[in-house]
């Protein structure tokens, strides 16, 4: 008999958070990603999964995940009820639903454009009495983004100038090291040349215009 495999599509269908009760009182809570006749695999969050043999499973209790709960709550928010959206945003934050919390706060701002809590939650700041995004605020004040940080053009130029100066100093230091090595090699070559020349001179004696072996002429003293 083929094993029946049940896969839960997290995107195409509602996401369920299941409680898998085990023999001995243990329990696994998460999202079932695979279930066969032999085992059940549960995504417990953070990229981790736990697989339990079906022989150790007492029962499985399906339940709505926080994401599905948010969707149902959002569908039931009365039109124009900023406080209901605020409460839903706070609830979503408490359940680690960051993007859903931002969506709810966006609904608050749509109803109450000057709401401080919602604007701050959306990463906005007040500039000249208006709520703008952080990027708009920096650009309006003449800041530039450089290597992932906002700074003034002068600060950026200082960083670039210091970096160029440091690179120039490093190049000069490297060139000096290379010149020193080359000078040492040249001096070593000259020393070896001088040593060879000195050795040749020691082994030869100059006679007349040339060189020749040193010796005393044959013959003795002549008595007269």
Handedness of CA 149, 150, 153, 158 (dihedral sign): negative
Tokens found for residue 122: 């959306």
Digit-coded pLDDT (tens) for 32-67: 889 999 999 988 876 789 999 999 999 998 876 787
Residue 34: both structure tokens together: 């695979």
Q: Tell me the per-residue pLDDT of 74-96, one tens digit each, with 9 for 90 and over.
A: 999 999 999 999 999 999 999 88
205 versus 156: which is more confidently predicted? 156
Per-residue confidence at 205, pLDDT binned at 50, 70, 90? Answer: low
DSSP for 114-144 reads T-HHHHHHTTEEEETTEEEEHHHHHHHTT-E
Residue (of 65, 72, 21) closest to 45 by Cα position? 65
- Residue (of 112, 64, 63) closest to 85 by Cα position: 112
The four Cα atoms 26, 30, 32, 35 give a dihedral, to 10 degrees, of -10
CA contacts within 13 A on the Cβ side of 7? 3
Give the rounded distance of the alpha carbon of 114 from its chain centre: 36
């Amino acid at each position: 008999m083929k094993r029946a495999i049940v896969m839960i599509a997290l995107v195409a269908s509602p996401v369920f958070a299941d409680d898998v009760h085990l023999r001995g009182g243990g329990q696994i809570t998460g999202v079932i990603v695979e279930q066969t006749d032999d085992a059940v695999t549960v995504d417990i969050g953070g990229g981790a999964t736990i697989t339990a043999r079906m022989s150790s499973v007492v029962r499985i209790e399906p339940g709505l995940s926080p994401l599905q709960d948010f969707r149902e709550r959002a569908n039931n928010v009365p039109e124009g009820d900023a406080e209901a959206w605020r409460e839903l945003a706070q609830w979503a934050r408490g359940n680690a639903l960051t993007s859903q919390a931002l969506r709810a706060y966006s609904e608050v701002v749509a109803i109450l454009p000057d709401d401080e809590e919602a604007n701050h939650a959306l990463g906005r700041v007040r500039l000249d009495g208006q709520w703008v995004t952080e990027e708009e605020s920096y650009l309006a004040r003449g800041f530039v983004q450089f290597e992932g940080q906002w700074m003034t053009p002068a600060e950026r130029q200082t960083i670039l100038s210091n970096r160029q100066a440091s690179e120039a100093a490093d190049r000069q230091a490297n060139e000096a090291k290379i010149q020193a090595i080359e000078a040492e090699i040249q001096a070593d070559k000259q020393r070896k040349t001088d040593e060879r020349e000195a050795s040749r001179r020691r082994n030869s004696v100059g006679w007349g215009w040339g060189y020749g072996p040193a010796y005393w002429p044959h013959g003795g003293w002549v008595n007269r």
